[in-house]
Amino acid sequence: MSHAAAATFPIRRSYAGHIAAGARRALAVVAVVAALVGLYELYRFIWSSTGWTHPFIVDDTSMPHVWVILHALWQPAQVNQPALGTILFHKSLFTAKEAAVGFALGAVVGFAIGIVLAHSRLLVRGFLPYIVASQTIPILAIAPMVVVWVNPKLPPSLQGWGSVAVIAAYLTFFPVAINTLRGLQSADPRALELMRTYAASRWTVLWKLRVPASMPFVFSALRIAATASVVGAIIGELPSGLQSGLGGAILNFNQYYSIEPQELWATNIVAAILGIVFFVVVAAAEKAIVRRAPENVA
Amino acid sequence: MSAARTVREWAPALVVFVLGIALWQGAIAAFDIQQFLLPKPSDIVRSCWDQRHTLWPAGWYTFKEALGGFAVGSIAGMAAATVISRFRTLGAALMPIAVAANAIPIIAFAPILNNWFNPLSPSSKIAMAAVLCFLPVMVNTMRGLQSANPRQIELMRSYAASGFSIWRQVRVPTALPFVFTSLKVASVLAMIAAIVGEYFGGSYDALGVLIRSKAQILDFETAWAGILVASVLGITLYLAVAAAERLVVRWAPETRDS
Amino acid sequence: MTEQHSVVDVSGVSKTFPRGNVRALENIDLALRPGEFVSLIGPSGCGKSTLLRVIGDLVEPSTGSVVVNGKSARQARNDHDYGIVFQDSVLFDWRTVAKNISMPLELLGWDRAKRKERIDEMLRLVELQGFGDHHPWQLSGGMQQRVSIARALAFEPALLLMDEPFGALDEMTRERLNLELLSIWQQLGSTVVFVTHSISEAVFLSTRVVVMSPRPGRIAGIVDVDLPYPRTVETREAPRYFELVTEVRELLRSRGEHLLPEEEAALGQ
């Protein structure tokens, strides 16, 4: 193997190296979380002992102690019910289902839009402004209308959460479309010339050259889309009256906030974990796919 | 850009717009099914005009919330990024965590913000918009500050330039394109955050509350008119940031003249 | 006793990079007289760029000492005793050509009038009058490098360090810029340390050619170039020129038991 090739091969970490890097990262996360918790409690302590009311009053209702919030996860929310943590877990699974379906749907649609637009500058100039503008429409406002419109069209098993998945897809398709377009346009002009010398058809050029070249962009968008799908699912649940998801839990516990504030906080923590899990799964999937086909990465 | 080029650039979008509106108007008239859900464009525009005395002030009210949150969140994000980037190991360690933290659906925090601040006051919506804008701006500013060309840094060292000089003359200009990209994203998020915040409780002067109440009494024409106003305002903020980008960042490949 | 005859005095300098334990330089001794044009040439890994950076105090040697202009390298850098030109022109896209040249002058605290005067002078020197208000991306590669040279000379340093400045340019532009560089050098009388991959360029430009060999990086030999100045297009066709090129090439090859075939080919010409 020539020296030049050795220099460009990615460094392969040993198994132990991976574990060490992972441990360092986990430690950093723990440190940051601990620091944030510390800051939260410190703020709470300072504000409640001095009695400052600006920017807002600090007491057990507005800022429950961190351990009270965590403790709430182990307690039942209502009499004779399972622990809050268990309930929230099942609700997050429900929301996750909506988000996952929305993610898949939005990703496919976004990818397709990107491919179509990449073939015609005219189409780009004609439609791109509206695709961008679509994201300025507050979906929370349209959500009830989407629900009323989509639900009757779905088979009974998909009704309810299906329309929320559509709303999640609405937030997901945009980053995927934009980045797919950029990625497809990023193919090396010399490689395109080469394909022309092979008299390759447009289809071949698309799948053999442009799509692989667009992968880094697409994956970067998928990470954003993962987050967007969870946000879309939660927002979509709000006006649709669905009790089974995290959105419903937020609305529900919001009503009881003055009595049991820690339940809403606990729901927030579960929602945060859901969002991060989605993101990490997509990022890990990207690493796994990219590692198996290093020659496809730019 | 010359006038001819501008026309050629925007003509297709205009054509699509006209065709789209015509199709929409025709389809509603022809099928007459979802009249009550998706009114004719002509009805929406009429409602926009008829209700202008409530719609546009409401829009302006919400726009101010979004603008306030956008400003606070973006400035805080840039400040945080500047401070963190001074310490290279800290910046490198925090970056992946900040990126992952961006995945948290902050929207779920809106009701708590409404409980902190009087639900009828704009403060909770401003706070919501600020929180939503903070992370993307901070992450991108950090990325920008860390992406200075090492040769340029070497050059400055050959001049025995001070740390502050290097930061001001090299790192900041390099970071500006990144910062503006994130500001464009944040501008759209800000408006959406304000409206989501209003969903959980807001003054009747606010657009989000107006849209919701009109929808509840099945006045969909006005509700859609309100949505149109919200969208227009969101686009305006985005275009304002894009215009600022053109002025400030004249050297980036996307905004170059030649 | 420090000889004031040398503007640069490198003695016993070694450099090992901690990452990968690379012995980039081993026991380098080199003295440069004022007004010399010295080229450093050798295959990849011979340490020529590292040596340049050691002289410029951009890399700290593991052992040995570097005296520039009678002071430590660190002091020389702080006193702005040298200008540096890289292979990539490293211009700031957000500044015009004129403002790029004025960068070091601003750092030195020159007032606007003085800066304007010097910028105009420099633009004339590199024959880019009228391009002051252009932006770097509007210029060709060769023109960008000329701006880079103008910037390096703006504050009239005694020493000019150049790291393969013409490496990214085509042959014809390269040869033309060689002539321009020689003309500038003779006008200003500065000392030049010039890193290059090209044997013909090294011989054409220099008063001395320092040949280096890799693994570890050291000086294989020094060739005195006794061709007369001013050197012209005709110089490239003189028999003595070819003799010297051959001498350098032999020196590279003789110490090149370590050279790989592709490294030899890369030395070209």
Q: Per residue in A155-201, pLDDT tens?
A: 888 888 889 999 999 999 999 999 999 899 888 888 888 888 888 88
For the cut 60, the answer to whether the pLDDT of residue A294 exceeds it is: no
Q: Using CB atoms and an 8 Å cut-off, which of residues 228-257 of chain B contact chain A?
A: 230-231, 234-235, 238
Do A136 and B103 make contact, defined as CB atoms within 8 angstroms?
A: no
Residues of B in contact with C93 (CB under 8 A): 173, 251
Cross-chain CB nearest to C84 (options B158, B249, B258) = B158
Query: What pLDDT sits at residue B258?
Result: 39
The pTM for the full model equals 0.81
- Is pLDDT of B29 > 60? yes
Confidence at residue A8, expressed as pLDDT on a 0 to 100 scale: 42
The token duo for A240 is 């649709």
- Chain B CB contacts of C149 below 8 Å: none
Question: For residue A12, what is the enclosing H or E element?
Answer: none
Q: What is the largest CA-CA distance in chain C?
A: 57
Residue scoring higher pLDDT (A4 or B119): B119
Separation in Å, CA of A190 to nearest CA in chain C: 19
User: Closest approach of chain C CAs to the CA of A14, in angstroms?
Assistant: 16
What pLDDT score was predicted for residue A52?
A: 79
Mean pLDDT value across residues B140-148 = 90
CA angle, A175 as apex, A169 and A180 as ends, to 5°? 110
B-chain CB neighbours of C107 within 8 Å are: 159, 161, 165
Which single residue is written with the structure tokens 């050798």? C42
CA distance between the termini of chain C: 42
Q: How far apart are CA B194 and CA B68, in angstroms?
A: 10
Res. A205: pLDDT tops 50: yes
What are A27-80's pLDDT values in tens digits? 888 888 899 899 998 988 888 888 877 778 888 888 888 888 888 888 887 777
Which whole number is the average pLDDT over B238-243? 92
Pair of tokens at residue A26: 């986990």
Residue B40 banded pLDDT, cuts 50, 70, 90: confident
Between B38 and C73, the more confident residue is: C73
ipTM metric: 0.83
Per-residue model confidence as pLDDT tens digits over A89-132: 999 999 999 999 999 999 999 999 999 999 888 888 889 889 98
Sign of CA dihedral A22, A28, A31, A36: negative
Taking only Cα atoms into account, the Rg of chain A, rounded to an integer number of angstroms, comes to 24
* pLDDT of A1 over the 90 cut: no
Interface of C with A in 29-88 (CB under 8 A): none
**Whole-number Å distance between alpha carbons of A104 and A173:** 9
Q: Which amino acid is at A194?
A: L
Whether C260 and A4 lie within 8 Å, measured CB to CB: no
Question: CA dihedral defined by C55, C57, C59, C64, rounded to 10 degrees?
Answer: 60
Is the pLDDT confidence value at A297 over 50?
A: no
Mean pLDDT, to the nearest integer, of B43-55? Answer: 87
pLDDT greater than 60 at residue A10:
no
Residue B153: CB atoms within 10 Å: 15
The average pLDDT across B15-26 equals: 87
Residues on C contacting B at a C-beta cutoff of 8 Å: 56, 58, 77-80, 82-84, 86, 88, 90, 92-94, 103-104, 107, 135, 137-138
Quote the tokens at residue B115.
């409980």
Q: How confident is the model at residue B130 (pLDDT cuts 50, 70, 90)?
A: very high
Q: What is the structure's pLDDT at B47?
A: 87
Which run of H or of E encompasses B167?
Answer: none
Residue carrying the six token digits 């020659």 = A295
Whether pLDDT at A20 is above 50: yes
Tell me, yes or no, if B13 comes closer than 8 A to chain A by beta carbon. yes
Each of the 269 residues of chain C gets a pLDDT tens digit; together they read 444 578 999 999 999 988 877 889 999 999 999 999 999 999 888 899 999 999 999 999 999 999 998 999 999 998 889 999 998 888 998 999 999 999 999 988 899 999 999 999 999 988 899 999 999 999 998 999 999 999 999 988 989 999 999 988 888 889 989 999 999 999 888 999 999 999 999 999 999 999 999 888 899 999 999 998 899 989 999 999 999 999 999 998 877 555 556 665 666 54
**How far lies C252's CA from each of C32, C196, C199, in Å?**
21, 13, 10
C77–B158 CB contact, under 8 Å: yes
Of B16, B97, B101, the CB nearest to A28: B97
Q: What is the mean pLDDT of chain A?
A: 85
Residue B250 has pLDDT above 50, yes or no: yes
Q: Which of B139, B149, B138 is nearest to B173 (CA)?
A: B149
What is the identity of the amino acid at B249?
V
Task: Using pLDDT thresholds of 50, 70 and 90, give the confidence band for residue B36.
Answer: low
Selected residue of C92, C133, C140, C148 to mutate for chain B interface (largest B Cβ count, 10 A) = C92
pLDDT at residue B253, as a whole number? 67
pLDDT computed for residue A298 by the predictor: 38
Which pLDDT score, from 0 to 100, does residue A114 have?
A: 94
Which residue in B155, B169, B250, B257 has the most chain C C-beta atoms within 10 A of its own C-beta, making it the best mutation to test that interface? B155
Contact at 8 Å (CB) between A286 and A296? no
Residue A272 is given by DSSP the state H
Q: Look at the alpha carbons of A68, A74, A75, A81 in this order and tell me if their dihedral is positive or negative.
A: positive
What does the alpha-carbon distance between residue A166 and residue A103 come to, in Å, rounded to a whole number?
A: 9
pLDDT at residue B85 greater than cutoff 50? yes
Residue B18 tokens, joined? 């006209």
Q: How many CB atoms lie within 10 A of CB C207?
A: 18
Residue A7 has pLDDT above 50, yes or no: no
pLDDT value of position A296: 43
Query: CB B155 to CB C94 under 8 A?
Result: no
Q: Which residue of B has its CA nearest to C74?
A: B160
pLDDT of residue C211: 94
Mind listing the pLDDT tens digit for each residue in B168-217?
A: 999 999 999 999 989 998 998 899 899 988 988 888 889 989 988 888 88
Neighbours of B182 (CB within 10 A): 24
Give the neighbor-by-neighbor strand order of the sheet with C208-213: C82-85, C159-163, C191-196, C37-41, C208-213, C218-224
CA–CA distance, B258 with B234 (Å, rounded to integer)? 30
Q: What average pLDDT does this structure show over B228-239? A: 92
Q: Which residue has the tokens 């014809």?
A: C172
Q: Does C262 touch chain A (CB under 8 A)?
A: yes
How many residues does the structure list for chain C? 269
Nearest C-alpha neighbor of C63 from the set C39, C37, C27: C27
Burial track C113-122 (b if 16+ CB lie within 10 A, e otherwise) = eebeebbeeb
For chain A, count helices (H), then strands (E).
Answer: 12, 0
**Prior bond to C216 cis, omega within 30?**
yes
Contacts of A3 in chain C (CB under 8 A): 260, 262
Residue C132: the pLDDT is 93
* Predicted local confidence at residue B180, as pLDDT: 93
Q: Which residues of C touch A2 (CB under 8 A)?
A: 262
**Touching C: B residues 153-172, CB under 8 Å:** 154-155, 157-161, 165, 169-170
Give me the long-range contacts of C149-153 (CB less than 8 A, separation at least 24): C149/C85, C149/C181, C149/C184, C150/C101, C150/C122, C150/C123, C150/C125, C150/C126, C151/C83, C151/C91, C151/C100, C151/C101, C151/C103, C151/C104, C151/C122, C152/C83, C152/C84, C152/C85, C153/C83, C153/C122, C153/C125, C153/C184, C153/C188, C153/C190
CB pairs < 8 Å spanning A and B:
135
pLDDT of residue C161: 95
Mean pLDDT of B35-55: 83
DSSP alpha helices (H): ranges in B87-219? 88-101, 110-116, 123-146, 150-158, 163-166, 172-199, 207-216
Q: How many other β-carbons are positioned within 10 Å of the β-carbon of residue A148?
A: 15
- In Å, how far from its chain's centre is CA B135? 13
Query: Which DSSP helix (H) or strand (E) runs through A204?
Result: helix A202-205
Total CB pairs under 8 A between chain B and C:
46
Q: Does B116 sit within 8 Å of A62, measured CB to CB? A: yes
**CA–CA separation, C139 vs C166, rounded Å?**
15
